[in-house]
C-alpha cells in the first residue's frame, strides 16, 4: 500500500457511510428546507439525548458558540474571563471581541489542560467566568474547577470543541459528558473535529432552562418572536444539510472515539517500548477521571528536536502538525488586551515542543507502523 498518509482521513470515513449520507443530503435538497429544516431539530434532539439530556442550541461554528455563550451572561466591558494560554485562538478571541479582558493562565505540562491551581492564581475582583478547554480530547479535571467557580461566583464555559464524546467521572462515581458540566458548553463541527460535518457547524449546551432560551434568542438576531428583537444578537445557524450529515455521524461517534483511542494506545505502547525512559519524547498523559477521545495524539519532543523531527517525517512521507506553535501570550493580537497572573512558562515550553501525529477513525496498524518506523529512524541517529 503506497497511499499517502494523512493527518485525517475524511474520505475513507465518508466512503463507509456514503449511501446513508448521500440519501440524507439529497432528501434535504428535495425538501428545499435548507434553513431550519426538520433535520436540524432531529439532530439537536438526538445530540441532547447523547449528551445526557441537556439543551442543545445549534449554531454556525464553534467560535460563534463561544461568543454566544459569553453574550448570554450579561458581562460588562472590563470584566475578566480566565482562559488557558495554550489553546486554539478561538477560546480567547471571543473574549477580546466582546470587549472583555482575557486573563491567561498556564496549563499542566502532562495533560495540556488548565488546573484549578492555575485558575486560582488569576482570580481578581473583576473575574466573572472561566473557559476550561478540554484540549486534544480529554476533560480538564472538572470537579475542583467547578467547586472553585462556585465558591467565587464564576460562570464556567467549557470549550468542548476537541472532546465531544469524552466522559468525566466525579469522586462520587457519577459521570458526565464533557460540555455538560459547566454553566454552558460549546462545541464545533468543523470537518476534522471528532464529530465533524461537511462544512461549518457548532452547538451550545446548557442544563439551565432560562439560559437555553436566551442562547437561542441571541443566536437568532436577539428575537424570541419573529421581527421582535429584544437584544442585539447575531445570525448563527447550523444549516439543514450539515445537520442531516451530523445526525448520521452521531450514531457512529462512540465507535469513532474508540477507533481513535485504539490508535492512540498502539502509538503509546510502541513509542514507550522504543523510548522507555522518555529520553527523546513524552507520550500523552491520560487523566484518570476522564476518558480520552484523542482529537490529537500529541507528543512532547525533547531537546529542541521538534522541528527537525517534523522535517524528517515530512521527507519520509509522514505528515505531522504543530498544535499550537505560539501560546496566546505571544500572539500579537492579545498583547494589548490581556492580563496574565503568572509567567506562563509551561504554555511556552509546551508550544515549542509539541508535535501531533496522524490520527483518525480510519487508522490501520500498517499506517501507524510507517509513522513509528520514521520516528525510530530519526532518533536512531541521535
Ligand atoms: C475548532 C475549535 C474552536 C472553534 O471552532 P470553529 O468551528 O472552527 O469556529 C474553538 N475552540 C477549540 C479548542 C477548537 O479546537
Residue having the nearest C-alpha atom to atom 10 of ligand 1: 90
What pLDDT, on a 0 to 100 scale, did the predictor assign at position 2? 54
CATH number at residue 234: 3.40.640.10
301 domain-assigned: yes
CATH no. for residue 319? Answer: 3.90.1150.10
Average pLDDT for residues 285-313, to the nearest whole number?
98
- Residue nearest to ligand 1 atom 14, measured at CA: 161
Query: Rounded to the nearest whole angstrom, what is the distance from the C-alpha of residue 24 to the centroid of ligand 1?
Result: 26
Nearest alpha-carbon partner for 189 in 250, 98, 256: 250
Confidence band for 27, pLDDT divided at 50, 70 and 90: very high
| Mean pLDDT score across all residues of the chain | 97
User: Angle, to 10 degrees, between the axis of helix 365-380 and the axis of helix 306-315?
Assistant: 120
Evaluate if residue 379 carries a pLDDT over 90: yes
- 235 and 191 both lie in a single domain: yes
Residues 250-262: tens digit of each pLDDT: 999 999 999 999 9
Domain count, the chain: 2
Which of the four pLDDT bands, split at 50, 70 and 90, describes residue 218? very high
Which of 192, 222, 250 is where one domain is finished? Answer: 250
Q: How far, in Å, is the centroid of ligand 1 from the Cα of 190?
A: 7
Q: In ligand 1, which atom is closest to the CA atom of 64?
A: 9
Whole-number pLDDT of residue 1: 47
The confidence band for 3, taking pLDDT boundaries of 50, 70 and 90, is confident
Give domain status of residue 3, yes or no. Answer: no
CA 58–ligand 1 middle distance (angstroms): 14
CA 106, 111, 112, 115 torsion-angle sign: negative
Structural domain of 126: 10-250
Same domain, 115 and 206: yes
Q: Are residues 108 and 232 in the same domain?
A: yes
Residues 207 and 271 in one domain: no
Domain identity same for 342 and 208: no
For residues 90 and 218, state if they share a domain: yes
**Which numbered atom of ligand 1 lies nearest the CA of 189?**
7
Residues linked to residue 356 through DSSP beta bridges, in sequence order? 298, 321
pLDDT digits (tens, 9 = 90+) for 58-110: 999 999 999 999 999 999 999 999 999 999 999 999 999 999 999 999 999 99
**Residue 339: pLDDT above 90?**
no
Domain assignment present for residue 333? The answer is yes
Ligand 1 atom at minimal distance to the Cα of residue 190 = 7
One domain, residues 205 and 272: no
Q: Which atom, in ligand 1's list, is nearest to the CA of 91?
A: 11
Please tell me whether residues 266 and 183 are part of one structural domain: no
Centre of ligand 1 from the C-alpha of residue 61, in Å: 8
Quick one: cell of 50? 447523547
- How far, in Å, is the centroid of ligand 1 from the Cα of 18? 26
Computed on alpha carbons and rounded to an integer, the radius of gyration of the chain in Å comes to 21
- The last residue of one of the domains, among 197, 215, 250, is 250
Whether residues 263 and 226 share a domain: the answer is: no
Last residue of a domain, one of 250, 266, 290: 250
Residues 190 and 323 in one domain: no
User: What pTM, to 2 d.p., does this model score?
Assistant: 0.97
Q: What is the mean pLDDT of residues 217-243?
A: 96
> For ligand 1, what atom is nearest to the CA of residue 133?
13
Instruction: Please report whether residue 1 resides in a domain.
Output: no
Residues 49 and 124 in one domain: yes
Q: Are residues 121 and 208 in the same domain?
A: yes
Answer for the pair 355, 322: CB distance below 8 angstroms, yes or no: yes
Q: 11: part of which helix (H) or strand (E)?
A: helix 10-16
Question: Ligand 1: residues within 6 Å at CB?
Answer: 61-63, 87-88, 90-91, 133, 159, 161-162, 188, 190, 200, 202
Amino acid at each position: 500500500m503506497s497511499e499517502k498518509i494523512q493527518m485525517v482521513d475524511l474520505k475513507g470515513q465518508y466512503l463507509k457511510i456514503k449511501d446513508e449520507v448521500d440519501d440524507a443530503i439529497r432528501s434535504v435538497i428535495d425538501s428545499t428546507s435548507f434553513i431550519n429544516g426538520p433535520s436540524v431539530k432531529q439532530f439537536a434532539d438526538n445530540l441532547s439525548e447523547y449528551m445526557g439530556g441537556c439543551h442543545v442550541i445549534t449554531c454556525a461554528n464553534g467560535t460563534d458558540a463561544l461568543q454566544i455563550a459569553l453574550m448570554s451572561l450579561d458581562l460588562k466591558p472590563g470584566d475578566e474571563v480566565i482562559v488557558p494560554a495554550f489553546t486554539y485562538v478561538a477560546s480567547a478571541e471571543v473574549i477580546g471581541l466582546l470587549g472583555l479582558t482575557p486573563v491567561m493562565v498556564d496549563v499542566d505540562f502532562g495533560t495540556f489542560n488548565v488546573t484549578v491551581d492555575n485558575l486560582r492564581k488569576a482570580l481578581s475582583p473583576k473575574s466573572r467566568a472561566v473557559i476550561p478547554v478540554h484540549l486534544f480530547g480529554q476533560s480538564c479535571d472538572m470537579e475542583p474547577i467547578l467547586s472553585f467557580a462556585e465558591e467565587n461566583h464564576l460562570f464556567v464555559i467549557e470549550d468542548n470543541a476537541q472532546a465531544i464524546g469524552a466522559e468525566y467521572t466525579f469522586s462520587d462515581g457519577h459521570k458526565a459528558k464533557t460540555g455538560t458540566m459547566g454553566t454552558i458548553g460549546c462545541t464545533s463541527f468543523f470537518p476534522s473535529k471528532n464529530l465533524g460535518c461537511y462544512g461549518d457547524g457548532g452547538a451550545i449546551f446548557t442544563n439551565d432552562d432560562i439560559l437555553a432560551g436566551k442562547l437561542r434568542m441571541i443566536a437568532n438576531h436577539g428575537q424570541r418572536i419573529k421581527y421582535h428583537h429584544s437584544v442585539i444578537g447575531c445570525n448563527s445557524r447550523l444549516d439543514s444539510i450539515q445537520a442531516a450529515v451530523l445526525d448520521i455521524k452521531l450514531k457512529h461517534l462512540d465507535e469513532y472515539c474508540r477507533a481513535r483511542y485504539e490508535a492512540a494506545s498502539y502509538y503509546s505502547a510502541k513509542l514507550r517500548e522504543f523510548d522507555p525512559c522518555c529520553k527523546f519524547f513524552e507520550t500523552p498523559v491520560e487523566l484518570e477521571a476522564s476518558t480520552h477521545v484523542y482529537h490529537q495524539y500529541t507528543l512532547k519532543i525533547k531537546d529542541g528536536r521538534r522541528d527537525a523531527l517534523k522535517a524528517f517525517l515530512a521527507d519520509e512521507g509522514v505528515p505531522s502538525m504543530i498544535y499550537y506553535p505560539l501560546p496566546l501570550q505571544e500572539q500579537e493580537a492579545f498583547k494589548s488586551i490581556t492580563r496574565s497572573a503568572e509567567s506562563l512558562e509551561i504554555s511556552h515550553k509546551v508550544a515549542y515542543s509539541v508535535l501531533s501525529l496522524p490520527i483518525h477513525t480510519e487508522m490501520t496498524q500498517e499506517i501507524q507502523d510507517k509513522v513509528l518506523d520514521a520516528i525510530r529512524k530519526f532518533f536512531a541517529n541521535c
